Structure 1
Amino acid sequence: MAAPALEAQFVTFSLGEEVFAVPVEVVREILDYAEAFKIPNGPDYLLGLRDVRGQGVPTIDLRLKLGLSKTVPTSHTRVLVLDIPIEAKVLTLGLVADRVFEVTPFRRDQIEAAPDIGVRWRSDYIAGVVRRENGFVVIVDLARLLSREDTVALDPHRAGHAA
């Protein structure tokens, strides 16, 4: 059996002043921001569908999903197109970020567990935290962030079907 890699590559991005990261393996591409085609009766964080090379990709405002204020698009706003393994399938999703920074390696020993702040606060979607000189980078586990209801709502093949 091969030894686990000592480091992993992550794509870093910001939501406001906060820096987040997702594993590079789940990032298909990064696109300039464009308005999504609205889907009626979707959750508030679901901006709609975006055409990505002929595929209708549900696009979410991660700021709203995390309880922050709605994204106000700027010239730096990007959409990360992600392929997220959830249960027995892969969910393709567009995630709006205020700014995408870089692909960066984090050593496994740099990644700390999500802090326990002693109150009921949903932190199960935090895969880890990395300290940097100017603050922290929060590694997001998107499969944990999205509930079963979310994955049904975000599945374009089920859109319009009664539950």
Structure 2
Amino acid sequence: MSKTDDFFNATGGKLLTFLLGEQEYGIRIDHAREVVGQMAIDKVPQTPNYLMGVTNLRGKIVPVLNLRLKLGMEAVPPTGETCIIVVSLGGAETGILVDFLVGVVTIGQAEFTEGLDLGEQIDTQFIYGMGKIDKRVIAILEVGSLVESLDL
């Protein structure tokens, strides 16, 4: 089964979208468990800079990833719109810090492009595909690869 077939069979084309700076990103809706506001995050010694630490989410300890840093972007101070998207994969939950939650969108198969080839110099291991809605281009992230790269 291709990525395209898998994506549309699992989600019906639904994405949870958010901003990092001016760029819009999305994740498959079936990977998103919930969205929470800013929470207290406890740092964990000797972890990479993109791993902000852990938070207590209703009694469950959840690691929180600063997606900006993981994707090689500059860190920015949180605003009132900064939030954490809690993703669930294989029973494990991880929080992903984003600048602004846009919402849920649905794209059709004609608007989905599988993967992204920008040449060997640019790392696209975390890009699942690209989506187009009107004049918006949404980079769809591969949440599984992001979470696996944390080595938790």
TM-score by length of 2: 0.85
RMSD: 1.8
Which 10-residue stretch deviates more, 68-77 or 112-121?
112-121
Structure 1 residue ranges (4+ consecutive) displaced by more than 6 angstroms after TM superposition: none
Q: CA deviation at 1:103?
A: 1.0
Local SS of the residue matching 2:24:
strand
Cross-structure match for 1:78: 83
Instruction: Identify the match of residue 59 of structure 1 among 64, 79, 82.
Output: 64
Identity of aligned residues (%): 25
Cross-structure match for 2:35: 30
Local SS of the residue matching 1:39:
coil
Q: Report the residue type matching 1:49 in the other structure.
A: V
Q: Distance in 1 between matches of 2:69 and 2:16?
A: 20
Q: Report the residue type matching 2:67 in the other structure.
A: L
Residue pair 1:7, 1:108 contacting (<8 A) in 2 also: no
Q: Report the residue type matching 1:121 in the other structure.
A: I
Local SS of the residue matching 1:74:
coil
Structure 2 unaligned residues grouped into runs of 5+: 1-7
Larger Rg: 1
Local SS of the residue matching 2:74:
coil
TM-score by length of 1: 0.80
Matches within 5 A, 1:115-126: 115-126=116-127
Residue pair 1:61, 1:71 contacting (<8 A) in 2 also: no
Cross-structure match for 2:55: 50
Query: How many residues are treated as equivalent by the alignment?
Result: 144
Q: CA deviation at 1:36?
A: 0.6
Cross-structure match for 1:96: 97
Q: Relative to total residues, which structure has the larger helix share, 1 or 2?
A: 2
Instruction: Identify the match of residue 16 of structure 2 among 11, 14, 35.
Output: 11
Q: 1:78 to 1:94 in 2, by over 3 A?
A: same
